[in-house]
Amino acid sequence: LSQPQWFQPIELNRDINNVYGSEDLCLDKLQLSQNKKDVRILSMLVDHQNKLLFLLSHTGEQIPTMTLNFEPGCAFLYENLVYIVDCNSEKIKTIDIHTHQLVDLLEVGGFNLFRFIIVEDTLFYVDRNYMLLGYNLKTKDEFGTDFLKPCWNVTGRGNLIAVLDVRETTFFEVKQGLLIEKKVVEGQFVFDNAGVFLNSQNPGEYIDVLDENLELKKKMGLWKFVGVKHHTALGVTVFKDLVTEQRIVDMTNGCRAIKNVVLEEICQFNKALLKEDWKHAVQHPQQIFTYHSNEVLAKLHTCKNQTVYQKLGFALANSRETSIQQKQKYIDAFQINSNEFKKKEKVEIQNYVNAMQRDIEVFKSCQKLRKAMEIDKKQFINLIDSNQEKTEAQLQKVDSLIDETKKQEVDNKYLLDSNLNHAKQLLEAHDYAVMFLRNVIQ
């Protein structure tokens, strides 16, 4: 086994793993100190024990980029966001690599590190009910998958993923967000960056990702390659001696070929859409229509191909992000162009239209109710204000009456005091007169 001369493995702590997808990380916008600008960065890694994201240089230098306030699980880089599991809250979070802004995204279940995986523009993850779900990173739509059994982990490389349940592993090829089953094998196979799926229940069994048939291989001496973790040209692995120069070439060419096929398919779809060549546009997968629903809607009024309406209707009907305006555009285009549709297919499309019309009616009813509630709210506020004014006027009258009563009490008291004084004076005069008469008689 020969190691590539141009890339020597770098020894790492056992608690360090890849931030997958960071091999093509653009470093220009990262907040590196000036003396680090010329350092050649290999990739971003996550240190689970020290709760840290860092960059690994070609010399083995670890350059910290962000300290985390939670226990991190598996991590992927997609565009400018690191998608990472918070093992404390059981959530997938996103971290902006420029601003370091942290946002909660999805709740996850599963075990160990392999809670989710990103393939193309889709994030597949195990939810709290241990079901495999998908999340479109472009449209922000969450959707169910065809894998309906409880599962614990999802792992893989490129467009090949493995979904693990209690007794077996199901391998899928991912194409435009759709799962195409390739094989089911007994055991729980997890991916290692050396390019093998290892059976954690039987360490002597493995499946090579370069084997198109995914044949089960048994090699009792496989684990003699196990050692401390190393960062290699294929990523972090405990099987550094499996990472030969030929294997690097074979695996990287395979990933590049997959990406090229996907990009070419999208390019051909966009060309057909630009020309309004619906015959060729409709030959592309359903997921293309989901990702590009706005572009298709913009030209749908010219389309008389019923299969386009079927695919787009399915995409719009199964998205929680579809707006009322999008639904109305679909309905309008259908009413213009559906006269020549075949009856069977037209019934299916009509069901989409009916559902969208109901949604629009519900939306309008909610709008009317909201407006009525706003009017009632204003009337209620006005009534309160009016009653408050009346109450204040009545209170003023009461205050005035109280003041008048107090004044009357003062006047009455003054009059009473005057009368008492006058009566007292009369009594004194009477007593004086009596005494005077007695003296005269005597």
pLDDT tier for residue 263 given thresholds of 50, 70 and 90 = low
Asked whether the predicted pLDDT for residue 194 surpasses 50, the reply is yes
Task: Taking residues 64-72, report their average pLDDT.
Answer: 93
Q: What is the largest CA-CA distance in the chain?
A: 160
> How many residues are given for the chain?
442
Tell me whether strands 41-47 and 91-96 are parallel, antiparallel or unpaired.
unpaired
Each as own residue / partner, the long-range contacts of residues 312-316 (CB below 8 Å, 24 or more positions apart, any chain) are 313/348, 313/349, 313/352, 313/353, 314/286, 314/289, 314/352, 315/286, 315/289, 315/290, 316/352, 316/356
Regarding pTM above 0.85, the answer is no
- First CA to last CA distance, the chain: 160
- Range of lowest pLDDT (67-76, 181-190, 305-314, 400-409): 400-409
pLDDT tier for residue 397 given thresholds of 50, 70 and 90 = confident
Please give the pLDDT value at position 238: 85
Q: Which domain holds residue 222?
A: 10-243
Q: Do the domain assignments include residue 200? A: yes
Q: Do the domain assignments include residue 369? A: no
Q: Using CA atoms, how far apart are residues 164 and 199, in angstroms rounded to an integer?
A: 11
Asked whether the predicted pLDDT for residue 4 surpasses 70, the reply is no
- Category of 310 on φ-ψ map: left (φ > 0), alpha (ψ -120 to 50) or beta: alpha
Convert the pLDDT of each residue in 205-229 to its tens digit: 889 998 989 999 887 556 555 667 8
Q: Do the domain assignments include residue 257? A: no
Q: Do the domain assignments include residue 314? A: no
Q: Are the CB atoms for 106 and 135 separated by under 8 Å?
A: yes
In the three-class reduction of DSSP (H, G, I as helix; E, B as strand; rest coil), residue 95 is classed as strand
Q: Are the CB atoms for 102 and 111 separated by under 8 Å?
A: no
Q: Do the domain assignments include residue 290? A: no
Please give the pLDDT value at position 248: 78
Please give the pLDDT value at position 229: 86
Q: In the sheet that 230-232 helps form, which strands lie side by side, from edge to edge?
A: 10-11, 230-232, 235-237
pLDDT tier for residue 45 given thresholds of 50, 70 and 90 = very high
For helices 343-441 and 324-337, give the axis angle rounded to 10 degrees.
140
Question: Which of the pair, 372 or 281, is modelled with greater confidence?
Answer: 281
Nearest to 191 by CA among 257, 135, 251, 121: 251
Q: Using CA atoms, how far apart are residues 278 and 406, in angstroms rounded to an integer?
A: 93
Q: Using CA atoms, how far apart are residues 51 and 329, in angstroms rounded to an integer?
A: 48
Task: Taking residues 305-323, report their average pLDDT.
Answer: 82
Work out how many domains the chain is built from and give that number: 1
Please give the pLDDT value at position 79: 86
The tokens for 321 are: 């992000």
Question: Which of the pair, 180 or 380, is modelled with greater confidence?
Answer: 180
Convert the pLDDT of each residue in 342-394 to its tens digit: 888 788 889 989 988 888 888 888 888 877 777 666 666 666 666 677 777 77
For helices 306-317 and 324-337, give the axis angle rounded to 10 degrees.
160
Nearest to 198 by CA among 226, 173, 175: 226
Residue 185: give its domain's CATH number: 2.120.10
Asked whether the predicted pLDDT for residue 39 surpasses 70, the reply is no
Q: In the predicted model, what is the mean pLDDT of the chain? A: 81
Q: Are the CB atoms for 153 and 190 separated by under 8 Å?
A: yes
Please give the pLDDT value at position 215: 93
Nearest to 361 by CA among 334, 327, 330, 321: 327
Question: Which of the pair, 178 or 150, is modelled with greater confidence?
Answer: 150
Q: Do the domain assignments include residue 83? A: yes
**Dihedral angle computed from the Cα positions of residues 164, 71, 233 and 178, in that order, rounded to the nearest 10 degrees:** 40
Task: Taking residues 175-186, report their average pLDDT.
Answer: 88
Asked whether the predicted pLDDT for residue 256 surpasses 60, the reply is no
Q: Do the domain assignments include residue 298? A: no
Nearest to 75 by CA among 50, 107, 47: 47
Match 């293309």 to its residue by tokens: 288
In the three-class reduction of DSSP (H, G, I as helix; E, B as strand; rest coil), residue 260 is classed as helix
What's the chain's Rg over C-alpha atoms?
40
Please give the pLDDT value at position 1: 41
Please give the pLDDT value at position 29: 45
Q: Do the domain assignments include residue 419? A: no
Please give the pLDDT value at position 52: 94
Over the range 370-399, which residues count as b (16 or more CB within 10 Å of their CB) and which as e? eeeeeeeeeeeeeeeeeeeeeeeeeeeeee
Q: Using CA atoms, how far apart are residues 415 and 420, in angstroms rounded to an integer?
A: 9
Nearest to 229 by CA among 53, 3, 14: 14
Convert the pLDDT of each residue in 69-126 to its tens digit: 999 999 999 988 999 999 999 999 999 988 999 999 999 986 667 789 999 889 999 9
The tokens for 232 are: 């290699």
